[in-house]
Structure 1
Amino acid sequence: MVTANLPDRFYIYGAGHHARIFMSWLRVCKMESRIKGFIVSQLAEGQEEFCGWPLKCLKEMVSSLRGEKVCVAISEAISFGVKDNLIAVGAESIQLTDKQIENMEENVFSFFASKENLLNQVVVWNYWGMGYYEQCKYIVEELHRRDKSIKVYWVIKELVKADFPEWVISVKFDSYEYYEVMSKSRILITNVNSPCSPRCKQSYQYYIFTWHGIGPTKRVEWDSNECRAAVGYDKKVMSDRWNAADIMIAGSDFCHHVYRNAFLYDGVIENWGYPRNDIFFKEISYKDEIKKRFGIEKDKKIMLYAPTFRHELMKSKDADRLKEIYDIDLSMVSRAAEKRFGSKFAILYRFHPFVYSFVDITAYRQYGIDVTYYPDMQELLTATDILLTDYSSSMWDFSLTRKPVFLCYHDAEEYEAKYNGFYIFPDEYPYPKGHSTEELCQEIMSFDDKEYQKRLDGWFERFGTYDDGKASARVVDRILDVFEHPAKYGKE
């Protein structure tokens, strides 16, 4: 679509990714004045505007849309019903194709992109636009400690609410400001694979990819069953996307190996350790803060239950299936731990946030304390005395503390066949494990710490950890060197 083909005045249907790109493109083309407002099929609670413009529900607009022109800015795959509804109320529907939206995004990036406009600043992507935690948090905190003059921008999605330090500037994904910041920042940092694709990363920018998993547990990306079967997971496209990175940060020998295979990555890998795990090598604990926040008695120890996600819950939205998958009696586990370790325990549980988006977890509120929305998992782990999980890679991170990890799972064969699958089958992990609450309690009661430490030594020796508390410093050393000597990294 070219500007000449747009109506003089129009509504925009949509309030998501496509609509934000379209809005940013209109702003670059100085055509915002043509917009009359935005329309969606259903408003979220409290949602009255989008990008500063009025946002109305289609049902409320039925009587006023006759003869109006509406640009449909949603994916073509889900737009067919919308076009029918607009025609039914007498509006003229103008579909923006996915290719047109893609071209608009490239045009917006091109509008800002220039070596001359490049600034020594950092823009961060955390889990596709989430809050202040994970690898990127620990990198930028070290960067700010070393040089407080460097600006740090953090990309967030529309409805994400997060507490940032005053020196971190949040930028909404796909906003006009987002494209400007993305194009003008010399350093891009992310812990996921998609934001910094070849389409939006300029050749003279430096892209640091940290990833967010580390241990020889669940298969990831191209190694996993789910990714290979997923619609749109084209090997060539994925390889180009992952190879947009200038460096990847590995936390272990095994991690290094996985990057080559799962990410089809042939670029530079730095064996620096994982920045988020620096916290375990410092005299830092958030135990007092967490106990105060959640009303936990000072004399109690903490057991954290943190199982991994099952993607079927996104499709089934079945609360009974949730209970079946995470079938564990936390009160029994608590009593067993009290007997074995001679202390009372507060039981905390942390589900993947996606679980809350699709399934009612009311049953789990009957025992334990819900810490799913506590922002930083690593802070929780510093306060934890015992970790209980199934297949979560947090077991590797927590093992660096040398504290007990217990596993409880009963669907490993199903997970291997239907979901990501495993690099190493869970039965081989060095942690005590049970396939039911009863078996788990027996493992807790018979726990032998001396034997456990030996198994951990063998585990780390087998897969080789690089974590030593200095990962963030190494990454920041590279960032500062890129700022000072960009030509050294081929960026000028």
Structure 2
Amino acid sequence: MDIIQNILNERNRRFGIEKFNFQTWEEFERIKKNKSVFLFGIGIGADFFIENYTGSIVGLIDNDKKKHGLPIDLFIDEIALDKCQEKKVLDVSILNQYKNDDIVILITNLKSCEQIAEQLESIGISNYFSLLAMEGLKKVFSDTAQDYDSDNIIKECTKRIEQNKIVFYTMGGYSGHGKYIAEQLSKLRDDLDIVWIIDDLKILKDPALHIPKGIRYVYLRNRKQYIYQMETAKIWIYDDMIPLYIHKRPGQIYVQVKHWPSITLKTFGFDLTTFRNEEGEIAVCKHNSAMIDYILTGSKFDTDTCRSGFGFQGEVVQVGSPRSDIIFYEITHKQKICRYYDLDNEKKILLYAPTFRCKQGVYYKPDVYETNIDYELLLKKLSGRFFGDWRILLRLHPVVSEASKNIKQPDYVIDASNYHDSQELVAAADIMITDYSSIMFEPAFVRKPVFLFAPDRKEYINGERKLLIDYDTLPFPIAESNEELAHNIENFDQEEYVNKVDKFMEKYGVHEDGHASERAAKFISDLLDDKRS
């Protein structure tokens, strides 16, 4: 059943804004003559209107500040560019330039039309209509995967597979293994159509973000565009699970690159979801396992755990950790991060990167864990043992990064939670502190000091997340209190540390050299050219 009909059924076809109960498209067409027309609410409703109704509009307004100023075709069908005078998403303040009698607003937001009507009334605008109220029994796409009939959508996408198109998705936005593979592919050949799927708009306004020419991005919530790109690409490169409503067609290739380096500490996929007994997630794992053609890994240990976690018995290609390549180029990224945060290049940087926890009693809801780390004591011990003037970058896990705004920190602690690429932070940092995140291994690839601070160690390991490696066998000093952490920093022995890391990496077969992305790109290029069966 169509989403408009569902919404109408839920409200028993009655609206709190009385005039919505009587509005018709005929009245809208009559009223809008010789007036400036705006759509309010960029998304499914706007997409539907643009595709199905004739006539031009001035612009598209949305209350989501993250969308303001971004191209409209990032969110709805590109045919809107021909029908819309303003090519970027507008703020409601644009209406201050008009008199009420000179404009008509079509509210295309399907879920908040009444709230938007009240908003318009509050600024003196009464000429507004609701697409939801007027449309009734029309077929449109839902804003969420479970609200639309994915089988019908798939049937509609019947265009041929484009042999030079590759679709990338990484959890952190434009980052991860995918970023570095894509950039190497762009250097390797110039005949590719590389599509990047993004699900967080704020990264597009990050001044540090540089998406190379030749890589175009598509917004994940623009469902029609997302499904179209997935349907027509020869290769999918994903570091997360592909949703249930996406199905691979004959001739397409799915390469899973996962979102950790050449070794991971925590269980994932089947090994995690069965531990938590999450039936919905198990279904997603099965869906992906059936579609994956190749997995790119970084070590024998990585290969073995991926086979188990993804339930995969196909071909695994050990290339290394593409996202970790930049860690071998410390100076360049130290300068970049110092410029971004307005720091002197001589400053020493500690990267503190705790992972998230899952809220107890709630189905997989990530939550921020306050470790109550003693920054003042930490800074004192760093300066005493490693000398220099230190700054601390706090990096929360991407799934809880927004919560960093609510955490009060001293002036010398810089919130780096929303920086688009965590590996650039790792490359710039002199020392790292984390708890259970597999990011801990990356500084160790170049033998930088890593300290573990895990006050909730017993609760986490026994109740929340099963580990793949015995925590006590990690080559990093472990602390469960601020006093222990201070002691570990104060008594750090670099030679002993390097010896432990060397043995650990050898045990797990990790041999990073800064060229993994080149090997991965060559493999993908060969797939495009059908050089691998």
Bin the TM-score by the shorter chain.
0.7 to 0.9
* 1:292 equivalenced with 2:334 (yes/no): no
* 1:467 equivalenced with 2:467 (yes/no): no
Correspondence for 1:205:
252
Q: Cα 1:270–1:181, aligned 2, differ >3 Å: closer, same or farther?
A: same
Correspondence for 1:346:
391
Q: Aligned equivalents of 1:54 and 1:231: distance in 2? A: 38
329-338 or 214-223: bigger deviation: 214-223
* 1:484 equivalenced with 2:529 (yes/no): yes
**Which residue identity lines up with residue 269 of structure 2 in the other structure?**
E
- After superposition, the CA RMSD in angstroms is 3.8
Correspondence for 2:445:
400
**Which residue identity lines up with residue 113 of structure 2 in the other structure?**
L
TM alignment of 1:49-88, pairs within 5 A: 51=76, 54-56=107-109, 57-59=112-114, 60-61=116-117, 68-70=134-136
Instruction: Give the conservation status (yes or no) of the 8 Å contact 1:198–1:241.
Output: no
Q: Cα 1:372–1:292, aligned 2, differ >3 Å: closer, same or farther?
A: same
* 1:32 equivalenced with 2:52 (yes/no): yes
Q: Aligned equivalents of 2:309 and 2:53: distance in 1? A: 47
TM alignment of 1:20-419, pairs within 5 A: 20=44, 32-33=52-53, 44-45=64-65, 51=76, 54-56=107-109, 57-59=112-114, 60-61=116-117, 68-70=134-136, 98=146, 100-109=148-157, 111-112=158-159, 114=160, 117-127=161-171, 130-157=172-199, 159-162=201-204, 163=209, 164-173=211-220, 174-195=222-243, 199-214=246-261, 215-224=263-272, 228-234=276-282, 237-282=284-329, 285-312=332-359, 322=368, 325-358=370-403, 361-364=406-409, 366-419=411-464
243-252 or 46-55: bigger deviation: 46-55
Show CA shifts across 1:239-292 (max 9, x none). Answer: 231331211011122111111111111111111111112223457631112112
**Which residue identity lines up with residue 435 of structure 1 in the other structure?**
E
Q: Cα 1:408–1:149, aligned 2, differ >3 Å: closer, same or farther?
A: same
**Which residue identity lines up with residue 232 of structure 1 in the other structure?**
G
**Which residue identity lines up with residue 118 of structure 1 in the other structure?**
E
Q: Aligned equivalents of 1:170 and 1:216: distance in 2? A: 29
Q: Cα 1:471–1:261, aligned 2, differ >3 Å: closer, same or farther?
A: same
Q: Aligned equivalents of 2:370 and 2:454: distance in 1? A: 8
In the TM superposition, residue 226 of structure 1 has moved relative to its aligned partner by 7.6
In the TM superposition, residue 158 of structure 1 has moved relative to its aligned partner by 6.5
Correspondence for 1:93:
none
Q: How many residues align?
A: 442
Q: Aligned equivalents of 1:189 and 1:208: distance in 2? A: 5
Gaps of 5+ in 1: 77-96
Q: Aligned equivalents of 1:364 and 1:308: distance in 2? A: 18
**Which residue identity lines up with residue 300 of structure 1 in the other structure?**
K
Instruction: Give the conservation status (yes or no) of the 8 Å contact 1:314–1:355.
Output: no
Show CA shifts across 1:363-415 (max 9, x none). Answer: 23554111112211111111111111111111111110101000111112211
**Identical amino acids, percent of aligned pairs:** 27
Instruction: Give the conservation status (yes or no) of the 8 Å contact 1:198–1:240.
Output: no
Q: Aligned equivalents of 1:365 and 1:230: distance in 2? A: 39
Show CA shifts across 1:194-238 (max 9, x none). Answer: 25x684322201221110124341221221268743351235x52
**Which residue identity lines up with residue 185 of structure 1 in the other structure?**
A
So what's the TM-score if we normalise by structure 2? 0.73
Instruction: Give the conservation status (yes or no) of the 8 Å contact 1:313–1:358.
Output: no
Correspondence for 1:94:
none
In the TM superposition, residue 445 of structure 1 has moved relative to its aligned partner by 0.5
Q: Cα 1:121–1:46, aligned 2, differ >3 Å: closer, same or farther?
A: closer
**Which residue identity lines up with residue 164 of structure 2 in the other structure?**
N
**Which residue identity lines up with residue 416 of structure 1 in the other structure?**
I
Instruction: Give the conservation status (yes or no) of the 8 Å contact 1:185–1:205.
Output: yes
So what's the TM-score if we normalise by structure 1? 0.78
